Amino acid sequence: MKVLLINGSPHPNGTTFASLNEIANTLNNEGIETEIITVGNKKISGCMACRGCTKTGKCVQTDDVVNEIIEKINDADGLVVGSPVYYASINGTLKCLLDRVFYSKTSFAFKPACAVACARRAGTTATLDIINKYFLISNMPIVSSCYWNMVHGSNAEDTKKDEEGLQTMRTLGKNMAWLIKSIKVAKDNGVKTPQLEDKIKTNFIK
């Protein structure tokens, strides 16, 4: 069993990494393998809505890590996406990545997922809301914790002083481990995932 953790910050060892690392250590203690990959320092363009991915399940753009991330999510049993707060929203590079990954027509259905937001002060709940919407539209169970999934601090050292935030991260890791293990037990005992219907698309004029 493995969980992929995406660090949306451009700082590979900053506040977002410190938060994700707390989750990763908890998952490791629960016997689940983890990988943290930093994307905020990559050159990632936005989605062009060309629909080329509908034929291949991959993005036609070849910059940096998007298709690599798609493969890693496919191979993982769970997903954690962490972002610093920029103007009460998620990091721009992370937004470009998630738009392309989740538009790739690859199904991540029934993989547990959660969002993590890191800020000096405010904007965390709006950031969580934006990230969670990718999971909500993709049939992915969202993992909760004992508080909203946020940690505060201006740098990694500050983050390590946020005892409540770190406890929230550890609880998040334990809850994700429990859910992943529960899903595995269910599959091993013949419980099948829900059969998804063919997608029905409508708009407001027809």
Q: What gap in Å lies between CA 75 and CA 1, rounded to an integer?
A: 9
CATH of the domain at 112: 3.40.50.360
201 domain residue, yes or no: no
Which whole number is the average pLDDT over 100-106? 89
Report the predicted TM-score, pTM, of the whole model to 2 decimal places: 0.95
Which letter, b or e, does each residue of 88-114 get, where b requires 16 or more Cβ atoms within 10 Å of its Cβ? Answer: ebbbebbbbbbbbbbbbebebeebbbb
For residue 173, the enclosing domain spans 2-188
Which whole number is the average pLDDT over 85-101? 96
* Those residues with Cβ within 8 angstroms of residue 178's Cβ, 6 or more apart along the chain or in another chain: none
Mean pLDDT over each residue of the chain, to the nearest integer: 95
202 domain residue, yes or no: no
138 domain residue, yes or no: yes
φ/ψ (deg, to 5) at 136 = -65, -30
Token pair for 30 = 């629960």
For 120-144, what is each residue's pLDDT tens digit?
999 999 999 999 999 999 999 999 9
Which whole number is the average pLDDT over 142-162? 96
Q: What is the pLDDT of residue 206?
A: 60
For 5-22, what is each residue's pLDDT tens digit?
999 999 999 999 999 999
The answer, yes or no, to whether residue 64 has pLDDT greater than 80, is no
142 domain residue, yes or no: yes
Q: What is the pLDDT of residue 11?
A: 95
